Structure 1
């Protein structure tokens, strides 16, 4: 009897979410891909085991964190694989710090803290069944039960407090007590630690942090002198340093990488996408070779997508096959010009997606974020926008504009209707979206257009459709004639139609107006 084994580990989303800079995101992606590859390699080397998914396990970049194996692999073997791999990542980072910072060996008191992070960072999940579907279902069932023990400042397993303690050479010193404020001398030493670290990483030719200059002279490409990081946050930064990555056996971050300034002055775009009903697609493939071919095709697409994405437009942070995350930014283009180029890219994305030749569609959330929106909030908006695109019917994109206040406007449409934004013409034949926006606002203020019932007055979509006809070359009549509202707006009710048009007006005015 054939047995299938499904393997995964966590936290994945949480590990990525706790990222304050673009370099953190890349570092988290590198670590997750590395750990996934080590698990897949352990499964491959087990007797009578064959890795079905992911394909191409010799390629580390973009490895997904779910591994499907035909055969039986011991759960302890899986746990040991991730434990030893993570231990090696931490060991290389710790040793590099101790050898390159200008402190005496006896001044480092943090060995126990690194060991805690080795033991308590990851939870490993493992499921089995007579079919690949049964193994995946067993995996999901087992994930309902936690598989790890949290640590606090003193190493007890009763709470999670203290896991984000600042990483520095005196972390874990015996005379340190929870809640105690640092003395003036300790604050100076903490400041020296991060100043030295930022200086050494900015200057790879230096073996040690001797003769560290003042704060104003340090660029801080990897770590800013005023930052304070926990051990895992520090590790995310360090693995993007090519010397450390090579020591671990990790795919280094490309030398062309450039960080986005934390004091960014313009808007940036962030996109997150995922294949639609991939699980159902895998269930429809009856044989292991077919599943392996599917996984290989998606991995090849992700790798190609990441490496061919225009560097003038932005970067793809990770592409693990059918799921991906990227950022749109440019130091050369203004916000309007950048979105114009991004819109051109989005309009051809479906064609690019279909190059994998697999019968699945894709949903994407694109977040256009103001300059002071925190990165962690942006990632949450990305997930929500992608989820909305799926709940509205899949095979579509949600564009969400997020302001510094936290408020946002958004619009969801199928890929084939995205070019509506480019077809807009105002009353004078130009591109001034303010005309449409002002007309819409005026009609709403007079209650001629309503998106909800007021005093039993029903919602009427006629004026909304007339606006589509006027500004989008008869679009309202075209959609009505072909009865496409359910496919486009996720429903054919009057409220769904009016809301879809209003969302189009809001997003178009914010992003496409030439004023």
Structure 2
């Protein structure tokens, strides 16, 4: 009988490779490529007689496609569902090298297909090969200690080649491919002309290379991989994904379809007459597709068309924009007619579309430690729990009208409309806890099997690369470190940078406080967040600055603080009370409305013991409620 060993395999960079994305499709493609290459490495181990221990891949649809078991791509085969690390039992001590060779062979095949599509000249071949061959740092060990591969990663032997000249406008790290940009005006002119030639050679696909794009080989592969997938990996992948303006407009569009389908149909007709393209026809969000189907049959085709329009058509600032990347290709009269039609639709909804969308990241807590220190039986239980969770992610995101970027192991990345991000995060956390519940306390102690989430509410024109990078920092530095894990952190990111940051352990908030975040415009007894005017929010912020910053979590809010806030609330002329309501009844109603908001303003942290302690007060919770209510800052 062959002696069995444990292989631990990982490769990267991960966050850098994925975050270097100007467009949503770059973001999706980077995540998918990582998952696909990891699957190739796993498959090489399986073909050599090895058995994958982590993650659970038997039913994974992407893995089935790689094995050739699925005749046509379906469901999650279109989603990056495999993490960049795995462990396996093997009898061959060279299994790790075979896995690395398979990964790089697949990468070269994809890069070769992109090279052929772009029809680049041989003068840049050496630069292309240099960058392609240095793309990945691969680490693997044979050890029973799951943490050994992390120690191996710390032994840096992957030296990046020198990258002279002008840098890639997407990643900012590697040299742009032409090699002509050397700092002088003449060289920069030659560089721009070279890239203009590449763009012209793409013909109908020229829109995939922006007028200011000067990319390195690796960023070019990410950008054009979806277009060559059938040749490169054996099946087609999605080439149309929702844009950030489309995601930002989703809530507004859904409301318009509900309150006035005729106005929605009219806006579509004007937009098409103006020449707005149907760029979202293949990437419509599920909630919008359903809303379009629910209208009167006579209006249905027009409403289907509306939710297929380029997302920029729903923002006056984009209609007026002359920039090739940010505006629509319309003439002056076309812009005027479309703007007028949009203004009428905004009147029907009662407001303009918010320019903000949400990026959600969710990650299991302490997963590396759990997988690295537990016996094999526990690792298998954890792997199966992660498989159960991962299998539920796609449907959960779909139910919240989102677009799933990645769902592998304990990691999730998704883009969502503003109103659905926090509800989706709570639902995903619930699915995660359900998946791990059978393991507590048989395999895991009570405070394990948890997940943290980070949400950035980003302006649609904020650089996507920065949004992705900052959301990862929000997850690791705030939700996990400052809040103490098993927590959520949210941030508002304007075009110029972060504006509001808020966090809380999941179970620290009562449901009334969650309602302010998940249904901010609902009515009910407290009239939702609409009960708080801007002046009251600013009064609250001033008052919180002078409150004692500390005290046990169980301490009630100081009565004198509540009394002052109740008085300020009652003095707000914007508040409308039922006729005949006594002053005492108004005071009590004001108190009930204020307490959920104050709960959001209490800063809390989870200690290593699992205990949650109060760390003072911050108005950021109230400012986040105001943002979600007004759908902007």
Same fold (TM over 0.5): yes
1:30-87 CA deviation, whole Å, 9 max, x = no partner? 211121011111222235x322112216346411111112235325334322222221
Structure 1 position 240, deviation (Å): 1.5
For the 8 Å contact 2:493–2:500, the answer to whether it is kept is yes
1:245-264 CA deviation, whole Å, 9 max, x = no partner? 12222664336633335639
Structure 1 position 514, deviation (Å): 8.2
Q: 2:87 maps to what in 1?
A: 68
Please list, as runs of the form range in 1=range in 2, the aligned pairs for 1:195-274 lying within 5 A after superposition.
Answer: 195-197=200-202, 199-201=203-205, 220=207, 222-241=208-227, 244-249=228-233, 252-254=236-238, 257-260=241-244, 263=326, 266-274=355-363
2:376 is aligned, of 287, 292, 295, to 287
Q: 2:493 maps to what in 1?
A: 402
Q: 1:21 to 1:410 in 2, by over 3 A?
A: same
Q: 1:393 to 1:195 in 2, by over 3 A?
A: same
Q: 1:38 to 1:448 in 2, by over 3 A?
A: closer
Q: 2:298 maps to what in 1?
A: none
Q: 2:150 maps to what in 1?
A: 140
Alpha-carbon distance in 2 for matches of 1:492, 1:462: 20
1:316-375 CA deviation, whole Å, 9 max, x = no partner? 11111210111114xxxxxxxxx3343443443433334534552211001111233211
Structure 1 position 492, deviation (Å): 3.7
- The answer to whether residue 51 in structure 2 is matched with residue 50 in structure 1 is yes
Q: 2:623 maps to what in 1?
A: 506
Q: 1:478 to 1:450 in 2, by over 3 A?
A: closer
Q: 1:382 maps to what in 2?
A: 471
Q: 2:506 maps to what in 1?
A: 415
Alpha-carbon distance in 2 for matches of 1:477, 1:10: 42
Q: 1:320 to 1:486 in 2, by over 3 A?
A: closer
Q: 1:118 maps to what in 2?
A: 132
Structure 1 position 491, deviation (Å): 5.3
Report the secondary structure of 1:239's partner residue. helix
Q: 1:301 maps to what in 2?
A: 389
Q: 2:249 maps to what in 1?
A: none
For the 8 Å contact 1:8–1:126, the answer to whether it is kept is yes
Over aligned residue pairs, what C-alpha RMSD do you find? Answer: 3.9
Report the secondary structure of 1:182's partner residue. helix
- The answer to whether residue 157 in structure 2 is matched with residue 94 in structure 1 is no
Alpha-carbon distance in 2 for matches of 1:442, 1:162: 44
Alpha-carbon distance in 2 for matches of 1:16, 1:273: 15
Please list, as runs of the form range in 1=range in 2, the aligned pairs for 1:316-355 lying within 5 A after superposition.
Answer: 316-329=404-417, 339-355=418-434
For the 8 Å contact 2:8–2:88, the answer to whether it is kept is yes
Q: 1:308 to 1:511 in 2, by over 3 A?
A: closer
- The answer to whether residue 460 in structure 2 is matched with residue 371 in structure 1 is yes
Which ranges in structure 2 are unaligned for 5 or more consecutive residues? Answer: 67-79, 166-170, 246-324, 328-353, 440-448, 551-556, 567-587
Structure 1 position 427, deviation (Å): 13
Q: 1:153 to 1:307 in 2, by over 3 A?
A: same
For the 8 Å contact 2:457–2:491, the answer to whether it is kept is yes
1:314 is aligned, of 402, 405, 416, to 402
Structure 1 position 187, deviation (Å): 3.9
Report the secondary structure of 1:240's partner residue. helix
1:362-396 CA deviation, whole Å, 9 max, x = no partner? 11001111233211221122112222122213222
Q: 1:491 to 1:30 in 2, by over 3 A?
A: closer
Structure 1 position 437, deviation (Å): 5.2
1:23 is aligned, of 25, 45, 50, to 25
Q: 1:413 to 1:154 in 2, by over 3 A?
A: closer
Q: 1:195 to 1:473 in 2, by over 3 A?
A: same
Alpha-carbon distance in 2 for matches of 1:433, 1:399: 20
Tell me the matched-pair count. 448
Q: 1:418 to 1:346 in 2, by over 3 A?
A: farther
With structure 1 as the length reference, what TM-score do the two structures score?
Answer: 0.75
1:188 is aligned, of 189, 193, 196, to 193
For the 8 Å contact 2:24–2:241, the answer to whether it is kept is no
Alpha-carbon distance in 2 for matches of 1:118, 1:343: 39
Q: 1:406 to 1:148 in 2, by over 3 A?
A: same
Please list, as runs of the form range in 1=range in 2, the aligned pairs for 1:422-461 lying within 5 A after superposition.
Answer: 422=515, 429-431=526-528, 433=530, 435=532, 438-439=535-536, 441-442=538-539, 445=542, 449-450=546-547
Alpha-carbon distance in 2 for matches of 1:308, 1:427: 26
Report the secondary structure of 1:109's partner residue. helix
For the 8 Å contact 1:83–1:118, the answer to whether it is kept is no
Report the secondary structure of 2:456's partner residue. strand
Structure 1 position 292, deviation (Å): 3.5
Alpha-carbon distance in 2 for matches of 1:444, 1:308: 36
The structure where helix makes up a greater share of residues is 2
- The answer to whether residue 147 in structure 2 is matched with residue 128 in structure 1 is no
Q: 1:236 to 1:2 in 2, by over 3 A?
A: same
Q: 1:225 to 1:321 in 2, by over 3 A?
A: same
Q: 1:444 to 1:435 in 2, by over 3 A?
A: same
Alpha-carbon distance in 2 for matches of 1:263, 1:514: 21
